[in-house]
Homo-oligomer: A and B are copies of this chain.
Amino acid sequence: MRLTRYFLPVLKENPSEAQIVSHRLMLRAGMIRQQAAGIYSWLPLGFRVLRRIEQIVHEEQVRAGHIPMLMPTLQPADLWRESGRYDDYGEEMLRIRDRHKRDLLYGPTNEEMITDIFRAHVGSYKDLPLTLYHIQWKFRDEIRPRFGVMRGREFLMKDGYNFDIDQDAAIHAYNRHMVSYLRTYERMGLTAIPMRAASGPIGGDNTHEFLVLAETGESEVFYDSAILDLKLGNRVVDFDSREECEAIVREWTAPYARTDETHDEALFNAVPEARRKTSRGIEVGQIFYFGTKYSDPMKAVVVNDKGERVPVHMGSHGIGVSRLLGAIIEASHDDRGIIWPEGVTPFPVGIVNLKQGDIATDGACEALYNTLRAKGLEPLYDDRDERAGAKFATMDLIGLPWRITVGPRGLASGLVELTSRRTGQSEEMTPEAAVSRLVQIYENH
C-alpha cells in the first residue's frame, strides 16, 4: 500500500479523552474513531489488525476441530425467556422493539441461540462431540464505557460452544479450548495466563480467564512467575487426545495463578517468595464448563447409546477479539508509539524513501515494493513528499515491526537499512538481503 493513496489520519496531539495508552495510541495512529460512547469505527489501519486477529482465531479454532458458523447480532427475546436470563440480565442488555412490537435484543452472548440450533437439529449421541463457534459483534450497554475498544459497548467476540454426551467428554472440550487459546495468544505475541476465575452471569463451576499482564489491567492478579516460562511454541498437539490436552492443561494450571476474585492467600504463600508476583491483568478470554445449565431448561437432549434421552453437557468459550487490539498495545509499546508483534501487524514492513522524487531512490523503493508484494509481504510504502523525521515518526507511531530505509547515500553502495522497531537496531544490507531476511522472519507468522 502506498501511503499517498491510503487513509491514515494520524493525530499530532494527544487526544484528551483517552485515559490509557492503548486508547491514546489507537486514536493517534488513526486506527479507530469513536461514533458514540463505546461504539467505534475501525479505520483502515485498525481494520487490518482486527482482521489479522480474527484470522488467527479462526485458524486455531479450526485446528482444534471446532466448526465456524455465524449467528445474527439480533436475537428474539423469547429465547432468553426460556433460559430465564431475559429478566436477570439487567440494563447491560440492549432491548429493542421492532415495528410489529416484537421484543428483540442485541446479543451480548449466544448460549440460548446455539442451544436452540442444537436442539432443532441434533438428536443422537452419534453426532457428538460437536463444537460450534462464531466471531460476531456483540453489544453490552456498559454504564460507563471507557478505555477505547477495551471496554466498548459494541465489540467483536469469538464465542464457541461445545456439546458433549457427558461431563468427561465436556471436560475434554474445555481442555481443548484452553490449549487452542494458549496457541492463539502466543501467535499474537502475548503472554496470556490462564487463571482460575469466578463464573459470573454465564454460570458454571469450571472456568478460567486468560489474562495479559499490564499496568492498566482491570483485575489484580497473583501468580507464580514460573508460568511465564511456559511456551507452547510449535508443539504438535493431537486435539482428539484427551491425555495430550489434559497434560498441557495440567502444565499450565500447576503454577499458582488467580485473579482477586478467586485468590487464596494460603495457597499463594506456598509459592517460593522469589516467584510470588502481584500485578494487574487484562482479561482477553474466558472458558466455561457449565454442564446442563442451558440444555435442561431448553430441552437440548440427545439419545445416548443405551437409548435414553439425556441433556447434553455444554460449555462456552470466548475470546475478546476487538479488545485484544488494546491489550496487545498495552503490552507492547514505547514512548514513540505502538510495537506490533509480527503475528498481528497491519503491514509486515514499512518502506521509507528518504528522497522522494529522486530517480534512484524512487526506483529502488518501487522495486522493493513490488518484490515484497510478490512474496506476500504487503509493505506500507511512505511515498509522501515529507522530510525523513516525519516519516520515521509516523512509522514509529503506527508500530510496524520492521522498516526499510532507502536513501541516496546507502544506494550509492547498493545498500538499504533494515531497522527493528522493537530494538531500534539497524543493519545495512542489499535490498535482496533485506527481502530474504523478512521472508525468513515472517515464515512462521
Contacts and interface: CB of A to CB of B under 8 A. Distances in A.
A143 B102 CA distance: 12
Contacts of A414: none
B113 A74 contact: no
Nearest to A103: B36
A99 B41 contact: no
A89 interface: no
Interface string A117-140: 100111000000010101001010
Interface stretch (A2-10, A215-223, A354-362): A2-10
A73 interface: yes
Interface residues of A, number: 56
A76 B143 CA distance: 17
A264 interface: no
B72 A44 contact: no
Contacts of A132: 7, 44
Contacts of A65: 5
A116 B39 CA distance: 14
Say whether chain A's binding surface is mostly helix, strand, loop, or mixed.
Answer: mixed
Contacts of A74: 36, 39, 106, 139, 154
A392 interface: no
B41 A113 contact: yes
Given A43-B69, A137-B137, A35 B102 contact: no
Contacts of A141: 98-99
Contacts of A116: 35
Nearest to A68: B47
A54 to B, nearest CB: 11
Contacts of A113: 35, 41
10 contacts: A7-B121, A9-B120, A35-B79, A36-B74, A37-B102, A40-B72, A43-B69, A47-B68, A72-B137, A91-B99
Interface of A: 5-7, 9, 30, 33, 35-37, 39-44, 46-48, 50, 65, 67-76, 79, 91-92, 94, 96, 98-100, 102, 104, 106, 113, 116-117, 120-122, 130, 132, 134, 137, 139, 141, 143, 153-154
